[in-house]
Amino acid sequence: MEMEKTMQIIHSPEALHSVCAEWRRQGLKTALVPTMGYYHAGHASLISYARSVADKVIVSLFVNPTQFGPNEDLEAYPRATWVEVPALANTLCGLSRPIHFRGVCTVVLKLFMLAQPSLAVFGEKDWQQLAIIKKMVSDLNVPVEVVGRPIVREADGLAFSSRNVYLTPE
């Protein structure tokens, strides 16, 4: 199939839903790459993998406030609907970031519901996140294939990450 060369920018959840519904109606295979921007080579590898297996690739850019607590303060957040995977989220990074993974799960499930992609691609760098999203999809019977892709590293071996700016060479 001839790959479309132009990028379409979609600004609203409603438009995302209807564009993706039309692609599915046309029988096109869609892949979602959820991101928070700050693009680097790791994202590029997820997007090129998605392009290699799907007819249409959706790259979402949403800096999700619910996964960054001001001091991770549980009580500071309004009560709303949340998606949680406590079996895997209350350990490792979840111990120091108690609300992080429910913020991730809630926004990722919303993106899955809007785009309803055949597959969604995540980096293996965020291993706990990947394991939690796979469990969420399995436990809730979400019809999306979750694919993890290998870490892309800088020349010195450090994994590409938007957070590397916080590190000193040491």
Residue 84 CB, nearest approach to ligand PAF (Å): 15
**Are the C-beta atoms of 31 and 23 separated by less than 8 Å?**
no
Asked whether position 106 contacts ligand PAF by CB under 6 A, the answer is no
Does residue 43 carry a catalytic annotation? yes
Residue 149 CB, nearest approach to ligand PAF (Å): 12
Task: Name which of residues 24 to 83 contact ligand PAF (CB under 6 A).
Answer: 34-36, 64, 67
Closer CB to ligand PAF, 83 or 107, in the complex:
107
- CB atoms near residue 63 (< 10 Å): 10
Closer CB to ligand PAF, 5 or 163, in the complex:
163
Q: Helical H runs in 26-81? A: 41-53
Asked whether position 108 contacts ligand PAF by CB under 6 A, the answer is yes
**Nearest in space to 31 (alpha carbons), one of 129, 149, 125, 164:** 149
Sign of CA dihedral 93, 121, 63, 101: negative
How many Å apart are CA 44 and CA 42, to the nearest integer? 5
Asked whether position 149 contacts ligand PAF by CB under 6 A, the answer is no
- CB atoms near residue 17 (< 10 Å): 15
Kindly list the residues in this chain that would bind ligand PAF in the complex (CB under 6 A): 34-36, 64, 67, 104, 107-108, 126, 129
